[in-house]
Amino acid sequence: MKEKVLISACLIGSNCKYSGGNNCLDENVLSRLKEKYDLIPVCPETAGGLSIPRDPSERLGDKVVSNKGRDVTEEFSSGADIAVTLAERFNCRTAVLKERSPSCGSHMIYDGTFTGTAIPGRGLAAEKLYNRGIKIMSENEVIETVETAEAAETPVERPALKDILAACDHTLLRVDCTADEIKTLCDQAIKYNCASVCIPPCHVAGAKRYVGNKLPICTVIGFPNGYMTSSAKAYEAADAIRNGADEIDMVINLSMVKDACWDDVAKDIKTVRDATKGHILKVIIETCLLTQDEKLKLCEIVSASGADFIKTSTGFSKGGATFEDVKLMRENCPADVKVKAAGGISSLEDAEKFMLLGAERLGTSRIVKIAIAEEEKAAAQQE
Ligand code: SF4
């Protein structure tokens, strides 16, 4: 399903301008946009009850006034509310709006003197959409959107098996795993050049003694429920590091998330970050338990926390990584916050797709198993 984008109706050819004309985008730009997105047109001014044609208006502080001095704030405000309702009904995360309009201007508007003087500011609808967390783009920025769409369609090189293996945290977190199984896991991870082994905290010291510096050891903290106190998590993390862990995958406090105690969620992560300085910290947000808004908020919090990775899942809840979640995390975290997909990665195709969507680590044991099976198959063919 294509992403839905709210757009000023005049930009797609609707004759709703105050003069009765439109501001239709270039044909190529418009067709590229339509290919990539479902466009939801809105003209806030006509939606608010103003006629076509109408007197030109400009913002004057909180008010909107026509060039004849008529206060049209009420109509503009009600049209802006309709634009917000439409955006929310269609779950639009982006609005492409006509620059300089007293309704739609996204970065610039006219200054209220009717002299053609533009100043930084937003139209009334753009302001309300922005305040509801919707990304506002001017028509001038649309070209950037089109380029992004074109880049996404450009065939990309599929990662080779060795590259997928190198992104794997070869994982064994089963509650009844044995020391021998952990040793086998380490042997496999070294042989296939995996990023690390991800193992329970109780096996870290033994694994470190076994592999020395041949392989990074990753372990899990506050796992899998995340509702331990922050100091307990910090202690666990420091203990794991003392035992030889190189990387820490912590679970956030989902109870705090559901209570919308965002400062506490951030403090919980920060406490573990402070206890893991100099080591890689991955923050598991357990996407299968989150609403879309919570995922976006957590992208923001994890990005600000100083963590190295945001990670989808523990693999012990209702669901694992999804392509949509990895894409959302990649798009909503800065480049220096990497994405780890984990939970339910069962095929090479899934692993490839997660990496193409921006995951730089994969939490799975399946890929090594696939590599082993391929080697066995090749050996059998040679016999
Ligand atoms: Fe275009 Fe927006 Fe003005 Fe309507 S209100 S004509 S959509 S700029």
Quick check: 276 and 248 in contact, CB under 8 A?
yes
Residue 154 pLDDT: 67
Q: Which two tokens stand for residue 380?
A: 């059998």
Q: Within 13 Å, how many C-alpha atoms sit on residue 382's CB side?
A: 6
* List 4, 311, 338, 350, catalytic entry: 311
Name residue 23's beta-bridge partners: none
User: For residue 149, how far is its CA from the centre of ligand 1 (angstroms)?
Assistant: 25
The residue length of the chain stands at 383
Q: Which of 282, 295, 340, 350 is catalytic?
A: 340
- What average pLDDT does the chain have? 94
- Listed in sequence order, the DSSP H helices in 308-365 are 323-332, 348-356
50-64 per-position pLDDT tens digit: 999 999 999 998 999
Q: What is the pLDDT of residues 167-219, one digit of tens each?
A: 999 999 999 999 999 999 999 999 999 999 999 999 999 999 999 999 999 99
Residue 156: pLDDT band with limits 50, 70, 90: low
Ligand 1 touching residue 45 (CB < 6 A): yes
Amino acid at 107: H
Active site residue 249: yes
Q: What is the pLDDT of residue 149?
A: 64
> pLDDT tens for residues 206-253?
999 999 999 999 999 999 999 999 999 999 999 999 999 999 999 999
340 is annotated as an active-site residue: yes
**365-381, pLDDT tens digit by residue?**
999 999 999 888 888 88
List domains and CATH numbers for the chain: 3-152 (no CATH), 161-382 (3.20.20.70)
Write the DSSP string, 143-208.
HHHHHHHHHHHS--PPPPHHHHHHTEEEE---TT--HHHHHHHHHHHHHTT-SEEEE-GGGHHHHH
Using the atom order of ligand 1, give the atom closest to the CA of residue 10. 1
Average pLDDT over residues 118-127: 92
Task: Answer whether 54 contacts ligand 1 (Cβ < 6 A).
Answer: no
pTM above 0.95, yes or no: no
Closest ligand 1 atom, residue 16 Cα: 6
E-strand stretches of the chain:
3-8, 37-42, 57-60, 63-66, 94-97, 108-110, 118-120, 135-138, 168-171, 196-199, 217-221, 247-251, 280-284, 309-311, 338-342, 359-364
